[in-house]
């Protein structure tokens, strides 16, 4: 497949250069004294699909939020070496964020919800509408533009949420256990669709999950985290081909990778 090759080439080219996001010695302590994360290092290269896997309470969502700029780390640095910076020296983070729940505005239609990031960036309404329609079409919801969130199923709401995150064509897509509340069939479908979108658009993905199978199926790299305090204990490369479909789920390669990651997760829980 052409897109797979082009994305692979992009990844290789980018890896040779500086990474897109560099986290060094990240720690997060809350005011009540709990330490959510400590001594966390992470490099994210352009075009990569990386998963953060760990038991609940290991601080993986905290890391994701700090990368998005929702909350500052207590120690350490988050650098965007290849991005532009504003007058105060803060990086212009170019991210889309997908929350665990769809987090849509119930008073707005699917299209208005997807338009929101553009509206907030003061993009002209006509252009914003056109781009929102394109984004909805990309997630297969072309005919549901005028539907309100309550008229959509859980999977469709999550598609709207993904369309909203992608409508600004961000460099990085951050997903915080996005499919955890969905049924298995919908979840697999959304996994495949997310991979297809990633392959086509070539953005970088950091995907937080607590499912070994999901992380192995989707990612090129799985970072396994341990809890209390949250830290990375393993970085497992899943060097399977980029084209992944139902046949990958039954391949010995998939089974082996799942075993390897599971073993690390057991270590993480015991640690």
Partner 1 sequence: MTDTLVPAPLRQAAPLADGTDAEARPVFAEQRRWLGLTATGWQKILAPIAIGLIVLALWEFIVRQAGIPYYILPGPLRIFTTLIADWGTLSGSLWITLQITGLALLAAVLVGGALSILFTQSKWLEYSLFPYAIVLQVTPIVAIAPLIIIWVNDTLLSLLICAWIVAFFPILSNTILGLNSADHNLINLFQLYGASRWQMLRYLRLPAALPYFLGGLRISGGLALIGAVVAEFVAGSGGTASGLAFRILEAGYQLKIPRMFAALAMVSGAGIVIFLVLSLISHLLLRRWHESAIRREN
Task: Give me the torsion for CA of 110, 145, 218, 10, rounded to 10°.
Answer: -110
* Residue of the chain from 45, 65, 131, 221 that contacts partner 1 (CB under 8 A): 65
* Residue of the chain from 6, 15, 35, 103 that contacts partner 1 (CB under 8 A): 103
| Closest to 165 in 3D by CA, of 51, 50, 68, 46 | 68
Q: Is 59 in the site for partner 1 (CB under 8 A)?
A: no
| Closer residue to partner 1 in complex, CB, 21/95 | 95
Residues 177-206: x where in contact with partner 1 by CB under 8 A, - otherwise, as a string: ---------x--x---x-------------
* Residue of the chain from 4, 8, 116, 234 that contacts partner 1 (CB under 8 A): 116
Could you check whether the bond before residue 250 is cis, i.e. omega within 30 degrees of 0?
Answer: no
Q: For 89, which DSSP code? A: S
Instruction: Say if CB 207 and CB 175 are below 8 A apart.
Output: yes
- Give the CA angle between residues 145, 173, 258 to the nearest 5°: 110
Select the span of 6-14, 32-40, 155-163, 211-219 touching partner 1 (CB under 8 A).
Answer: 155-163
Select the span of 30-38, 61-69, 127-135, 263-271 touching partner 1 (CB under 8 A).
Answer: 61-69
* Residue of the chain from 47, 155, 178, 230 that contacts partner 1 (CB under 8 A): 155
Tell me the helix, strand and coil percentages in the chain, rounded to 5: 45, 20, 35
**CA 152 vs CA 99, 103, 149, 243: distances in Å:** 17, 13, 5, 30
* Residue of the chain from 2, 31, 84, 106 that contacts partner 1 (CB under 8 A): 106
3-state secondary structure of 12: helix
Contacts with partner 1 by CB under 8 A: the residue count is: 38
| Closer residue to partner 1 in complex, CB, 25/140 | 140
CB of 39 to partner 1, least distance (A): 26
CB of 114 to partner 1, least distance (A): 12
Beta-strand runs (E) in 5-152: 21-29, 35-44, 49-53, 75-79, 95-98
| Closer residue to partner 1 in complex, CB, 97/203 | 97
Select the span of 4-12, 24-32, 49-57, 63-71 touching partner 1 (CB under 8 A).
Answer: 63-71
Q: Is 156 in the site for partner 1 (CB under 8 A)?
A: yes
- Give the CA angle between residues 25, 30, 34 to the nearest 5°: 90
In the block, tokens 């960036």 appear at 121
**Whole-number Å distance between alpha carbons of 131 and 111:** 10
Q: Is 141 in the site for partner 1 (CB under 8 A)?
A: yes
Q: What H or E segment, with its residue span, contains residue 233?
A: strand 231-237
Q: Is 6 in the site for partner 1 (CB under 8 A)?
A: no
| Closer residue to partner 1 in complex, CB, 58/104 | 104
Q: Terminus-to-terminus CA distance in the chain, angstroms?
A: 42
Chain positions contacting partner 1, by CB under 8 A: 65, 68-70, 95, 97, 99, 101, 103, 105-108, 116-117, 119-121, 139-144, 148-156, 159, 168, 186, 189, 193
């Amino acid at each position: 497949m052409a897109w797979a090759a082009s994305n692979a080439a992009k990844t290789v080219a980018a890896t040779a250069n500086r990474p897109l996001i560099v986290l060094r010695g990240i720690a997060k302590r809350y005011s009540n004294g709990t330490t959510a994360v400590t001594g966390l290092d992470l490099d994210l290269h352009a075009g990569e699909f990386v998963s953060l896997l760990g038991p609940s309470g290991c601080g993986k969502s905290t890391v994701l939020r700090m990368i998005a700029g929702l909350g500052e780390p207590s120690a350490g640095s988050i650098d965007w070496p290849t991005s532009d910076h504003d007058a105060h020296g803060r990086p212009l983070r170019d991210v889309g964020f997908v929350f665990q729940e769809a987090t849509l505005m119930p008073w707005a239609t699917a299209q208005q919800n997807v338009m929101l990031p553009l509206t907030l960036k003061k993009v002209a309404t006509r252009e914003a509408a056109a781009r929102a329609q394109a984004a909805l079409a990309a997630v297969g919801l072309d005919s549901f533009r005028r539907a309100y969130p309550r008229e959509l199923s859980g999977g469709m709401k999550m598609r709207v949420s993904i369309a909203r995150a992608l409508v600004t064509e961000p460099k990085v897509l951050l997903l915080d256990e996005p499919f955890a509340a969905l049924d298995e069939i919908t979840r697999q479908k959304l996994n495949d669709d997310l991979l297809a979108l990633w392959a086509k658009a070539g953005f970088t993905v950091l995907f937080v999950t607590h499912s070994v199978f999901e992380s192995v199926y989707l990612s090129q790299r799985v970072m396994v985290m341990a809890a209390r305090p949250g830290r990375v204990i393993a970085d497992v490369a899943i060097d399977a081909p980029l084209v992944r479909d139902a046949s990958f789920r039954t391949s010995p390669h998939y089974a082996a990778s799942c075993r390897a990651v599971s073993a690390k997760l057991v270590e993480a829980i015991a640690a």
